[in-house]
């Protein structure tokens, strides 16, 4: 009876001990146990719980051959009881947990840890650093990575950006370590680089304005203007991405960590000998490489271009834009007009390759030559008459008539009209020809004193009236003026009270002024003795008539100008 009680007491004691041990053991923790049994399937591990935990032989791996009953193993307790009331443990998770504990204990954010890139996941890569850590795609390399698979299997150092032991989360960066290394390399390289020395580099990137070249530690800029002496539209015409090239160090800015590179500087500057190769007045041939409204650029050789301005394209045509004469790709011959080696400019002439028609005109049409031509254009100051082909001469309004004041050429001429004129001057340099219509005849005013004398009675036709008098056309088309005060012996209030336009009158010559081309006439005292008036010397004014005539002529000119503008002079 007592033995039975004792056994019950012992059983109860074992249960209490088991319950006490179980209370101390918690899930998701590392626990240590001893191997209680071993067979061909695995081992039983006593972790101080009421039931042993079973560990599969495959999970033990290489340890299977070396472990024995009684050996100690540290495992990860996943659950107290599985479906068969046995504790569930894991050796692999124990190793992971120990690794996490080691990382949390030994590393902080910002530290460097070694690892191996295992596989690719969404947004980046998984790196084995003892545990799995995440490497974002943006942190893999210095530049954009086209294919993350290229990095699988790589063992390298990584910088810990973020670490969270409780959530078992680690974020790494490889790029930051590469940038730091590159910064050190760049600083060292900047100390080495010297202007006007040569370096080997690889084209890393191409833009519209140039190319970035990796100089094995830092990038230098090869600007498009420093790629070639010739004109290029895009850097890709000269270099390609990943191409290895030799460049010249042009400038090193250590403060801003910038390096300027040159490719064309490796060759001789063609402009150094341009004045020898292309002397002034020499003939050259080239290809039109660019056409602008103001002119065309012609490539004479690689790196050397000259400009043909629109003003140098034709002797006779007014060229408004260069594309009217040449187009890109044309092969042309030109003459060198000017060379500026310092400014890298060559001025070319297209028309100089042809005989100057203005010089031919000057030789064939000396002053005094009579020509016939068609009025091709009119301006307010004259008319342009075709002489030969596209060459025009101009008749100024002052050269249209000896006897009348022409205010606008359309008073006498019109476009398309054929006219005869005399060559006054041919200015081949400025490409101007002056013509005259009035010089087709003798100047009637030069012989006026031989034809008329003061006191002579002349006949004429009233052509125009004004408030101050009447104009009378005499023989040869010369106009004389009868001032209102000379219309009658009596006072005259209105010119129209005495004469009207179209009347034929007889008047006495009162005043002759050949220099100013003026004749004063009078209707007063026509019956008196003309001999007294004839005693006056030619050109001498009678009383104040000369002064009155000047005023009348001045008023007449003003009235004529108003009439030309479409306004009528008021009648007296």
Region 187-202: what's the mean pLDDT?
Answer: 89
Same domain, 468 and 539: yes
Q: Is residue 345 predicted with pLDDT exceeding 90? A: yes
Q: Are residues 448 and 556 in the same domain?
A: yes
| Percent of the chain at pLDDT exceeding 90 | 42
303, 320: one domain: yes
Does 86 have pLDDT greater than 90? no
Residue 348 lies in a domain: no
User: Where a domain ends, among 413, 440, 467?
Assistant: 440
* Rounded alpha-carbon distances, angstroms, from residue 45 to 30, 32, 410, 520: 14, 9, 127, 150
Residue 15: phi, psi to the nearest 5? Answer: -65, -40
Q: Are 469 and 549 part of one and the same domain?
A: yes
Among candidate residues 238, 266, 294, the one where a domain is terminated:
266
Model confidence over 293-334: pLDDT tens digits? 999 999 998 889 999 999 999 888 888 999 999 999 999 999
Per the model's pLDDT, the better-predicted residue between 515 and 473 turns out to be 473
CA-closest candidate to residue 69, choices 92, 49, 50, 52: 52
Structural domain includes residue 302: yes
Q: Are 127 and 158 in contact (CB under 8 A)?
A: yes
Q: Would you say residue 6 lies in a domain?
A: no
Q: Per residue in 423-437, pLDDT tens?
A: 999 998 888 999 999
| Domains held by the chain: number | 6
Put simply, whether the predicted model's pTM sits higher than 0.85 gets the answer no
* Residues 556, 457 share a domain: yes
At 572 the pLDDT is 26
- Same domain assignment for residues 552 and 450: yes
Does 258 map to a domain? yes
Residues 6+ apart with CB under 8 A from 65: none
Same domain, 390 and 456: no
For residue 392, the enclosing domain spans 357-440
101 in any annotated domain:
no
pLDDT score of 569 more than 80:
no
Same domain, yes or no: 163 and 204: no
Domain boundary among 397, 412, 440: 440
* CATH code for position 414: 2.40.50.140
Domain match, 474 and 547 both: yes
Residue 550 lies in a domain: yes
Residue 160 and residue 92 share a domain: no
Q: Is residue 448 part of a domain?
A: yes
Say if 10 falls within a structural domain.
no
What six digits make up the tokens of 398? Answer: 């002052």
Q: Is the dihedral of CA 334, 335, 337, 343 positive or negative?
A: positive
Residues 435 and 450 in one domain: no
Residues 6+ apart with CB under 8 A from 568: 562
- Which H or E run includes 546? helix 545-564
**What is the arithmetic mean of pLDDT over 196-216?**
92
- What residues form DSSP beta bridges with 262? 248
Same domain (yes/no): 198, 171? no
């Amino acid at each position: 009876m007592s033995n039975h009680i004792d056994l019950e007491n012992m059983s109860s004691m074992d249960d209490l001990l088991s319950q006490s041990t179980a209370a101390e053991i918690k899930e998701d923790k590392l626990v240590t146990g001893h191997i209680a049994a071993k067979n061909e399937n695995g081992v039983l591990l006593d972790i101080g719980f009421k039931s042993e935990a079973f560990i599969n032989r495959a999970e033990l791996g290489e340890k299977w051959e070396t472990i024995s009953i009684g050996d100690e193993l540290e495992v990860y307790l996943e659950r107290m009881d599985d479906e068969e009331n046995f504790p569930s443990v894991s050796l692999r998770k124990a190793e992971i947990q120990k690794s996490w504990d080691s990382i949390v204990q030994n590393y902080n954010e910002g530290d460097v840890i070694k690892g191996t890139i295992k596989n690719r996941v969404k947004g980046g890569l998984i790196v084995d650093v003892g545990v799995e850590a995440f490497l974002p795609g943006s942190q893999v390399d210095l530049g954009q990575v086209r294919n993350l698979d290229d990095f699988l299997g790589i063992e390298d150092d990584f910088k810990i950006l973020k670490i969270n032991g409780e959530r078992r989360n680690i974020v790494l960066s490889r790029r930051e370590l590469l940038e730091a290394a590159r910064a050190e390399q760049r600083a060292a390289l900047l100390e080495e680089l010297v202007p006007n020395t040569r370096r080997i580099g690889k084209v890393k990137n191409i833009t519209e304005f140039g190319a970035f070249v990796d100089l094995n530690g830092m990038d230098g800029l090869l600007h498009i203007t420093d790629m070639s002496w010739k004109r290029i539209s895009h850097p890709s015409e000269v270099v390609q991405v990943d191409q290895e090239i030799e460049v010249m160090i042009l400038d090193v800015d250590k403060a801003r960590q910038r390096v300027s590179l040159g490719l064309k500087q490796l060759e001789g500057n063609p402009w150094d000998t341009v004045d020898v190769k292309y002397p002034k007045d020499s003939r050259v041939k080239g290809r039109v490489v660019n056409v602008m409204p103001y002119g065309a650029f012609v490539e004479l050789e690689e790196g050397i271009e000259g400009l043909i301005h629109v003003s140098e394209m034709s002797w006779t045509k007014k060229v408004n834009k260069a594309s009217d004469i040449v187009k890109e790709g044309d092969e042309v011959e030109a003459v060198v007009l000017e060379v500026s080696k310092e400014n890298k400019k060559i001025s070319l002439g297209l028309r100089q390759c042809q005989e100057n028609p203005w010089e031919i005109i000057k030789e064939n049409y000396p002053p005094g030559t009579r020509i016939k031509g068609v009025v091709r254009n009119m301006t307010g100051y004259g008319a342009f008459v075709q002489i030969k082909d596209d060459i025009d001469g101009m008749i100024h309004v002052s050269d249209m008539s000896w006897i009348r004041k022409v205010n606008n050429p359309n008073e006498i001429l019109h476009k398309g009209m054929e006219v005869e004129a005399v060559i006054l001057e041919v200015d081949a340099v400025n490409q101007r020809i002056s013509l005259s219509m009035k010089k087709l005849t003798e100047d009637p005013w030069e012989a006026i004193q031989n034809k008329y004398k003061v006191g002579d009675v002349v006949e004429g036709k009233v052509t125009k009236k004004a408030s101050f008098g009447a104009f009378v056309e005499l023989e040869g088309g010369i106009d004389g003026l009868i001032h209102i005060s000379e219309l009658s012996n009596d006072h005259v209030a209105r010119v129209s009270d005495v004469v009207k336009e179209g009347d034929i009158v007889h008047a006495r010559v009162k005043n002759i002024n050949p220099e100013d081309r003026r004749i004063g006439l009078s209707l007063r005292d026509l019956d008196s003795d003309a001999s007294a008036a004839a005693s006056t010397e030619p050109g001498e004014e009678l009383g104040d008539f000369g002064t009155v005539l000047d005023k009348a002529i001045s008023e007449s000119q003003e009235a004529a100008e108003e009439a030309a503008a479409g306004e009528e002079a008021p009648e007296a």
